[in-house]
């Protein structure tokens, strides 16, 4: 019977299986087996449909998938004194939301019990290759492949010798031979065993085969009076090494760069209770802030009034009016990159009422408008503190590209992200955006290029824009506009 790879199932099915198996305190594979058996025998609990709440759901925030295991490890415990430390390792891996399924060799069971490993892992523990319960669908293959990583701790001299020579005469060695997953070995043995030529040869072979080693450390042995290299690494060291293999560090191409971003509308007061605003939601600027932060940048986001959560890891300055926004932008300088995505009001009311304006028989109050400071032009034309890359946004309802090109020249910025915000596009306040990146090529006589992107979510636009920024800043900082 073909083995079922749980990891390849739909997310919704996986979530259903995980919730149901957790509730029944069974492993996911066991739960699938129970479901299939019950189905064949005409019994069984009807599946509770699980579907992720729609993104726009107005109910309580959906539970974060982070509460579910994020990775899974098959932990092989070999027969050495250090096996007791592997019980602590199970606990430390589970603290990091890693699912752990334990395999104990025959010798390991002389040092720790399957019961202890099961209680700590909340999973069934596997000990036998010829186990009819798990081998009816090739259980050793599932243990070898339905995981993200295999950890062997302690990796005994014997287990490593078997591995190096391709033995498969018990469950542990069969899994190690049948796996296509990365293997992390935490050797533990007497220093003489570790230094023995046979162990040296086996370890070298295993490293050539791609296994990763953590330790052994040097120190006192369990045997009285013996010391040297051979102590198994501490549980926390093994958990850290496992986590590094499971979650390799994400590239942070903007590390060391400071990015300043504006987002949202501005509110220009008419009197203490009324204001002039626009329909900007701030979603695009917030998405850019999150993408720049994920790329490793230090991000300062100056936001007008929006109904969005502050992006994690970003310094957010909340403002109301264009003048407050300019002040916060100036305070946040210097920056390596400035992105002005806010829809700043062009005008404000000159004669802002100190008290709420009242209806009178004299008719409507005359509202005089004056021009707001132009944040993009002000920062683009700075001499000393001008960020090396200044990007503006052009929200247009007609002649998009032409107007954006004119804006690029007039404001003195380096790039303009132009988007059509006419009502039919649904861009203002919506989740998608169709943009054109208009850039001035400093290396080629300030030639203007227009790069039109397909319709994307605002998050995708943000990621794409950050990718362009990374390419630009890692190539060469653009020259300030003349
Ligand atoms: C008390 C005791 C402690 C042992 N400690 C270790 C050890 O730390 N490392 C090791 O490689 N073997 C150790 N051994 C030997 C292994 O248990 C033995 O080689 C066994 O066959 C390993 O089986 P396994 O690799 O299938 O777990 C120890 C044996 C005894 C009796």
Residue 415: count other Cβ atoms within 10 Å of its Cβ: 23
Q: Which two tokens stand for residue 482?
A: 């003349």
With the most atoms of ligand 1 within 8 angstroms of its CB, the residue from 107, 112, 127 to mutate is 107
Residue with tokens 């018990």: 170
- Asked whether residue 472 carries a pLDDT value surpassing 80, the answer given is yes
Mean pLDDT over 145-173 rounds to 96
- Asked whether residue 481 carries a pLDDT value surpassing 70, the answer given is no
Q: Which residues, 6+ apart, have CB-to-CB distance to 38 below 8 Å?
A: 44, 45
| pLDDT interval class at 326 (50, 70, 90) | very high
Q: Does 159 sit in the ligand 1 pocket, CB within 6 Å? A: yes
Nearest to 439 by CA among 455, 335, 475: 475
Q: Which two tokens stand for residue 457?
A: 């979510």
Report DSSP state, residue 67.
G
Mean pLDDT over 86-115 rounds to 96
* Nearest alpha carbon, ligand 1 atom 14: 80
Mean pLDDT over 65-87 rounds to 85
Q: What's the gap in Å between 210 CA and the centre of ligand 1? A: 24
Q: What's the gap in Å between 180 CA and the centre of ligand 1? A: 26
Chain segment 107-155, per-residue pLDDT in tens: 999 999 999 999 999 999 999 888 767 665 566 788 888 899 999 999 9
| pLDDT reported for residue 361 | 78
Which range has highest mean pLDDT (11-15, 339-343, 365-369, 449-453)? 339-343
CATH 3.40.50.10300 fits 258-349+368-475, yes or no: yes
Cis omega (within 30 of 0) for bond into 84: no
Q: Give CA–CA dist 74/139, Å, rounded.
A: 12
Cis omega (within 30 of 0) for bond into 291: no
Which strand ranges, in their side-by-side order, compose the sheet holding 298-303?
A: 315-318, 298-303, 258-263, 337-340, 389-396, 415-420, 435-441, 447-452
Kindly state the percentage of the chain with pLDDT values over 90: 63
Chain segment 275-315, per-residue pLDDT in tens: 999 989 999 999 999 999 999 999 999 999 999 999 999 99
Report DSSP state, residue 405.
H
Q: Does 419 sit in the ligand 1 pocket, CB within 6 Å? A: no
Q: Give CA–CA dist 57/50, Å, rounded.
A: 15
Q: Does 189 sit in the ligand 1 pocket, CB within 6 Å? A: yes
Cis omega (within 30 of 0) for bond into 146: no
Mean pLDDT over 161-184 rounds to 96
With the most atoms of ligand 1 within 8 angstroms of its CB, the residue from 75, 76, 80, 160 to mutate is 80
Superfamily name with CATH number, domain 69-246? Flavin prenyltransferase-like (3.40.50.1950)
Positions annotated as catalytic residues are 278
| pLDDT interval class at 399 (50, 70, 90) | confident
* Nearest alpha carbon, ligand 1 atom 9: 189
């Amino acid at each position: 019977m073909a083995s079922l790879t749980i990891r390849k199932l739909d997310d919704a099915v996986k979530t259903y299986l995980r919730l149901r198996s957790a509730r029944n305190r069974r492993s996911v594979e066991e739960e699938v087996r129970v479901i299939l058996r019950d189905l064949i025998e005409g019994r069984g609990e009807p599946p509770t449909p699980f579907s992720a709440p729609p993104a726009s759901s107005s109910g309580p925030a959906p539970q974060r998938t982070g509460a579910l295991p994020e990775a899974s490890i098959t932990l092989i415990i070999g027969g050495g004194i250090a096996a007791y430390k592997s019980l602590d390792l199970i606990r430390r891996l589970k603290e990091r939301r890693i699912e752990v399924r334990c395999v104990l060799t025959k010798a390991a069971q002389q040092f720790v019990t399957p019961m202890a490993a099961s209680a700590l892992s909340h999973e069934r523990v596997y000990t036998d290759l010829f186990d009819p319960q798990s081998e009816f669908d090739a259980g050793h293959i599932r243990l070898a492949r339905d995981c993200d990583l295999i950890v062997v701790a302690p990796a005994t001299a014997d287990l490593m010798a078997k591995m190096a020579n391709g033995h498969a005469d018990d469950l542990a060695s069969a899994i190690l031979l049948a796996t296509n997953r990365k293997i992390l070995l935490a050797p533990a043995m007497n220093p003489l065993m570790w230094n023995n030529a046979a162990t040296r040869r086996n370890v070298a072979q295993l490293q050539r085969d791609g296994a990763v080693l953590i330790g052994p450390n040097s120190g006192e042995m369990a045997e009285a009076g013996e010391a040297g290299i051979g102590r198994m690494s501490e549980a926390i060291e093994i958990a850290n090494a496992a986590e590094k293999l499971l979650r390799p560090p994400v590239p942070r191409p903007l590390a060391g760069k400071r990015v300043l971003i504006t987002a949202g509308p501005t509110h220009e007061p008419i009197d203490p209770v009324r204001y002039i605003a626009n329909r900007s939601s701030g979603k695009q600027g917030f998405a850019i802030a999150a993408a720049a932060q994920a790329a490793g940048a230090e991000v300062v986001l100056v936001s007008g009034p929006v109904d969005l959560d502050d992006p994690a890891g970003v310094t957010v300055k909340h403002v109301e009016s264009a003048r407050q926004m300019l002040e916060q932008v100036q305070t946040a300088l210097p920056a390596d990159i400035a992105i002005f995505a806010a829809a700043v009001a062009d005008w404000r009311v000159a004669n802002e009422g100190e008290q709420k304006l009242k209806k009178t028989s004299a008719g409507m109050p005359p509202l005089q408008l004056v021009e707001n400071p132009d944040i993009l032009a002000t920062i683009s034309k700075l001499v000393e503190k001008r960020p090396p890359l200044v990007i503006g946004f052009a929200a247009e309802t007609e002649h998009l590209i032409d107007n954006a090109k004119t804006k690029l020249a007039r404001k003195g910025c380096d790039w303009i992200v132009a988007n059509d915000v006419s009502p039919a596009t649904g861009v203002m306040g919506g989740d998608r955006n169709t943009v054109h990146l208009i850039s001035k090529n400093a290396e080629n006589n300030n030639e203007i290029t227009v790069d039109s992107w397909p319709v994307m979510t605002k998050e995708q636009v943000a990621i794409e824009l950050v990718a362009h920024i990374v390419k630009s800043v890692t190539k060469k900082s653009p020259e300030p506009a003349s």
